[in-house]
Amino acid sequence: MKEIKIVTGHYGSGKTNFSVNLAVKAAAEGKSAAIVDLDIVNPYFRTADFRDLFEEKGIRLIAPDFARSNLDIPSIQFDVVELATDEDCLIIDVGGDDAGAVALGRYADDLEQFKDSIEMYYVINQRRYLTNTAEEVTKLMYEIEAAARMKHTAIVNNTNLGCETTLDIIEQSRPFAEETSRITGLPVKYTVYPEELVKPSDKSDVFPAKVYVKPVWGLTQNA
């Protein structure tokens, strides 16, 4: 079945790392996969930074024209219908907040024909500034939807403190994610755990993730 996964969230929520993991997971399952770096706002953390990894895994990458160069020009062109048709799994990593979601809005009409195959994930991280409460992340989610002209289908709880993440930090965030789910009416699809912290569990939402995105200036938070 065709899979289109759109990933949005606040700056620093960890959406890029989650997107990379989705692409690697799809490839590991034998699916043809493509990932679109639609983040034309943040020059620091981009899926384009993992070009070598994607080539190794056979994942097709579509990135801004000047990604990984000294130029930071917000320019990207691609045929979303072609990608959605040709690939088993298409992942779109959207820029942070409503400013980044404007770029996704350009493709909303084209994506409408694939609406039954789309999952639009809203990645939340309680340990990030301006997203400490369910009310804060809900307000931001609606702003992103307005800019993108698309509706989210699920929440991804990616609460973390980068390399300082512990099981307690993740478990303590579950009520926050559940309250966000209650307010928005959206299910919590995944709770992301660094793969080294995953233990046998009866929780059905556990998503083991490898930490690909690492800070470039010594901070502990992910992009």
CATH number of 3-209: 3.40.50.300
Please, which residues have CB within 8 angstroms of residue 53's CB and are 6 or more apart in sequence?
A: 20, 24, 59, 212
The predicted pLDDT at position 129 comes to: 87
Which pTM does this prediction carry? 0.90
The predicted pLDDT at position 218 comes to: 44
191-209 pLDDT, tens per residue? 999 999 998 776 889 999 9
Q: Which of 215, 203, 211 is nearest to 45 (CA)?
A: 215
The DSSP output letter for 31 is -
Task: Pinpoint the alpha helices (H) of the chain.
Answer: 15-28, 51-57, 80-86, 97-105, 108-111, 134-148, 167-172, 174-184
Q: Residue 33 pLDDT more than 80?
A: yes
Average pLDDT, the chain: 88
The predicted pLDDT at position 43 comes to: 56
Q: Could you tell me the residue ranges of all domains in the chain?
A: 3-209
The predicted pLDDT at position 12 comes to: 87
Q: What is the dihedral of CA 85, 91, 92, 93, to 10 degrees?
A: -170
114-162 pLDDT, tens per residue? 999 999 999 999 999 889 999 999 999 999 999 999 999 999 999 999 8
Instruction: Tell me what percent of the residues of the chain surpass a pLDDT of 70.
Output: 87
Q: Which of 140, 123, 93 is nearest to 221 (CA)?
A: 123
